[in-house]
A and B are shown apart, each in its own frame.
Chain A
Amino acid sequence: MNNYKEIHSGSKPFKRAYVALMLWFVGRAIEAAARVDGAVQAEFDGLPPEFTFSLGVMPQGPTMIVGKDAQGLVKYRGWNPEGQKIDLKMKVKNLEGAILMFTFQESTAVATARNRLIVDGEVPAACAIVRVLDIVEVYLLPKLIAKLAVKRYPDWSFGEKVWNRIRIYAGAVFG
């Protein structure tokens, strides 16, 4: 038949790699922030024991998994959900949606409002994780960019913010 062809969907390796890198770094930064920042620790304390969540991109990743261990310590648990009991799955519907989020063109709250995320789990837990992500983004990003990425930029003292930022960066990079 004329005017007919089949197209195999290609891939976007650079965008995938960027999102994978961001998820890896944010995952490790959450672990570090839980040790450094009282608000992040309080959010995790409010979640059930050994609570684990994943944030990933549909249909085939990348993904990051973060959870509390038996002692209540927050740990980054890698990218592979296989064999892990995950209480809350947050999935971005497609890679482009993840790019919008991780290039900070859209905050997590805006992305949720624009239906770019699917949440499989308890809504209060999802809200807590969105608040944690907001706090971590404030630490990781310069104010100019972080203001785009979070719902409300917090009014923290400069010294406290810089000192915590150094500790979180160090924790994320060196573990």
Chain B
Amino acid sequence: MPGPSLDKEETVFQPQRAYTFYSPTKVLSGNKALENLPVELDAMNAVKPLILTTPGLSAREMEKVMAAAFADSNLTIGVFAGVPPQPDLMLIRELYGLYRDNGYDALIALGGGPVMDTAKALNIAVSGKPEDLGSLADRNPLTRKLRPLAAILNLDLSGCEMTRYVSLGSLSLTSPALIPDLTVIDPRTVMAEERKTVASTALMSLTQAIEACLHPERNPLTDAYAYGSARFIMENILNVLRNPSDRKGRLALANAAFFAQTSFDNLAPGMVYELGMAMSRSCHTHPGLIMGLLLPHFLLLEMKKETATRKDLYLFIGGPEAFAGTMAEASFRKAVDRIVEILLELQSLVMDFPRSIRDVGIKREDLESLVEPQSAAGVRGEYDPQDIRNILEKAWETRF
């Protein structure tokens, strides 16, 4: 198999071209990070936050953790623990009334996916009026500064929590103003989740990181974030799955998700990400699992290309020592092999981990509809249809 074309000029963190990078969030990570929330909110002139979370997280006594974090702050906090898996505009309207009637002035999203989507959409409404949601959906940019929004991450994430994207039913919104002001990664909220959930979130982050590091428009900062994310995941994913009480490992995976999402947010979404999201919509499986199964095939396709491939991918995947001990010509292939090894390990550690996209309910006849950009199930973004077809067919035929 021919190796990638090697460009001696291509080095990590090369100050190439002009670029922009945007990450307005302040990160509070580590032991007792939650306790900083009152001071940080106060610095943003917020004294009465409303916490949004799910009934599931509420049942795990997360409210008590939050109350303890706010103890001694003299603040009153509201808790709404009824965010459903599929939030809608009706919920936003109800929460809008709740927020206004009770005098709240900030939002805290405790949990990923639907909680963050609800918090971002609600923040648009409470910072202006509910009609602003429709206006943003019609591609009119947000003109006012939003109220403070804090995100408390865990390991059950959708991949877009720390980004400018919101998905609320059929409504898709995009604005850099939606990125949370604060990100809190505390060992008490980054709890041990089901192994399949942790594996899915980690594979989603790994996909975002790898696609960012291979992206044609990558820049030194997206590289740095992608590198941090990939290293955290590769060094911790198996440990966390073997030993769910590994607090340090869980914290590293949550940090990796933040890094990957920030990198991803500064570039256009990649092909594997889009395919994973499109397939997930039709088969209702966590997109991270599908992305993990597609990733090796995407990388093999990249490897065959004469251009556009970077020679140091294995630095991200294998780390500096393994990278230094590998011949440049074999480096990219080693990166692919290492990812396949991880997938095989995940299968042995996680019950019901799919071995192929066939296992998640994708039918062969559905594959072609994914290639069509105009179809409802089609992949968003502009990719070579032949590339998509190749990846899907390989993924269909392969059982890891």
Contacts and interface: CB of A to CB of B under 8 A. Distances in A.
Interface stretch (A10-18, A146-154, A167-175): A10-18
Given A93-B35, A100-B32, A59 B74 contact: yes
B72 A60 contact: yes
A60 B67 contact: no
Given A9-B70, A16-B72, A60-B72, A4 B38 contact: no
17 contacts: A1-B82, A3-B58, A3-B82, A5-B78, A6-B102, A7-B66, A7-B79, A9-B70, A9-B75, A12-B71, A12-B72, A59-B39, A59-B42, A59-B73, A93-B36, A100-B31, A100-B32
B150 to A, nearest CB: 15
Interface in A89-103: 93-97, 100
A39 to B, nearest CB: 32
Contact of A10 (B67, B80, B82, B94): B67
Given A4-B98, A9-B70, A9-B74, A96 B82 contact: no
Interface of B: 30-32, 35-36, 38-39, 42, 55, 58, 63, 66-67, 70-82, 94, 98, 102
A38 B63 CA distance: 51
B30 A114 contact: yes
Q: Report whether over half of chain B's contact residues are helix, strand or loop; otherwise say mixed.
A: mixed
Interface in A109-126: 114-115, 118
Contacts of A1: 80, 82, 94, 98
A6 B80 contact: no
Given A10-B67, A59-B42, A96-B32, A3 B73 contact: no
Nearest to B80: A4
A9 B77 contact: yes
A58 B39 contact: yes
Most chain A CB within a 10 A radius of its CB, from B31, B55, B72, B73: B72
B82 A2 contact: yes
Nearest to A114: B30
Given A59-B42, A93-B39, A100-B32, A9 B79 contact: no
